[in-house]
Amino acid sequence: MLHKKVSMDTIARHLGLSRNAVWLALAGKSGVSLETRQRVMDTAAALGYRRPTRTVTTKTTGHIGLVLSEAIFHETSFFGPIIMHLQRQVAALGANLTIQPVSDKDNASARLPALITEGRVDGIIILSAMPREIIEAIGVRIPTVVVDHDDALVDVDQVGTANRLGAYRGVHYLTSLGHRNIGFIGRGLDIPSYRARFIGYREALYDMQLPFSEAWAWKDAEQSDPALVQRLKSVDDWPSAWFCANDALAFHLVRALQALGISVPQGCSVIGFDNQMFAEMSNPPLTTLGIDRELFATVAVQQLFERIGDPMRAVRSVVLNPKLLVRQSTAEVTVVVPSI
């Protein structure tokens, strides 16, 4: 009778551990507790695990999978360039990129794409937000790197943006122009990047001894001119500058301020984040925190191919710092912004 081969993945699934933790335990290396090490050793013996003669794998299909939610797939202004650069980087290394959108239904049921379950790719890049259960299920089966999604509880390689640091730099720049009353506009703290940007905004205010007002902290703003006009009208007193969690919000905020007769930047300064197309479409062009999306792709592909070549190496998280890009939507404080 033939028995299915027992692998480290088998042990990891059986114990609910990461593949890396199982390897550390079996290899006698530090990084896991004595209790975990013993559990792994006992389970390996019980399941009949045999150590392979080599642990380094090489590419076998010549294909890399890119997994992303259907919602992210349609956000072309930010993620489109990342996908393009990922394709180029993978091709430069002699492989092909297969793009696999995942539906909300698949996310809800934690159903894995067939290209993973059928072994059609050598590694997976997960782009942006994805349920933790899916990331873990993919990561334990195949070399994986997560891009632009910060989750401290998943044990896979990650490449992300220093969102907190970027927000801090943005607020610091506004203070260098003389602004002391600075507001925040975001789209929801359930989004990790926006939450980190809000934290950076708050830390900057605290460190620079600037006032914080809940009336100026809009954590659930809608990206539209009319909605922001109404929101502005609901506030009795305005800050002299606004830090926005993305460029789309900043773009619509500039238009809303102008609709109310406030010039930008003479009457109010606005700064965005991401350096999307909205930054250059805006009139005036937006000062923003730019993300190097080509570098994003380069680092992600390097991480993945290193993982494919050495599946047992330590898990890494690489954080890329955004760059302050000064344009015409910010200026030194010249007037006190009137209330509407």
- Do 200 and 126 fall into the same domain? no
Mean pLDDT of the chain: 87
Q: How far is the C-alpha of 17 from the C-alpha of 337, rounded, in Å?
A: 56
pLDDT of residue 335: 52
pLDDT of residue 3: 45
- Do 99 and 175 fall into the same domain? no
- Do 297 and 154 fall into the same domain? yes
> Domain count of the chain?
3
- Do 41 and 79 fall into the same domain? no
pLDDT of residue 109: 67
pLDDT of residue 149: 87
What's phi and psi for 161, nearest 5 deg? -105, 140
- Do 131 and 208 fall into the same domain? no
- Do 301 and 154 fall into the same domain? yes
From residue 311, give the alpha-carbon distance in Å to each of 18, 23, 127: 12, 10, 20
- Cis peptide bond N-terminal to 113, omega within 30: no
- Do 138 and 186 fall into the same domain? no
- Do 209 and 251 fall into the same domain? yes
> Residue 52 domain-assigned?
no
- Which residues does 251 contact at the CB level (< 8 Å), separation at least 6? 272, 278, 279, 281, 282, 286
- Do 33 and 127 fall into the same domain? no
pLDDT of residue 228: 96
Look up the CATH number of the domain holding residue 240: 3.40.50.2300
pLDDT of residue 93: 87
pLDDT of residue 61: 84
> Residue 287 domain-assigned?
yes
- Do 131 and 26 fall into the same domain? no
> Residue 204 domain-assigned?
yes
pLDDT of residue 63: 93
**Nearest to 312, CA basis, from 9, 8, 20:** 20
Structural domain span for residue 145: 63-159+293-315
Residues 301 and 82 sit within 8 Å (Cβ to Cβ): no
> Residue 281 domain-assigned?
yes
Q: How far is the C-alpha of 261 from the C-alpha of 266, rounded, in Å?
A: 11
> Residue 56 domain-assigned?
no
Residues 50 and 26 sit within 8 Å (Cβ to Cβ): no
> Residue 339 domain-assigned?
no
- Averaged in consecutive runs of 10 residues, what is the pLDDT profile of the chain (340 residues)? 65 85 70 79 83 47 89 74 91 90 74 85 90 87 91 89 97 97 93 93 97 94 95 91 97 97 96 94 97 91 91 89 97 65
- Do 100 and 155 fall into the same domain? yes
> Residue 331 domain-assigned?
no
- Do 169 and 278 fall into the same domain? yes
> Residue 330 domain-assigned?
no
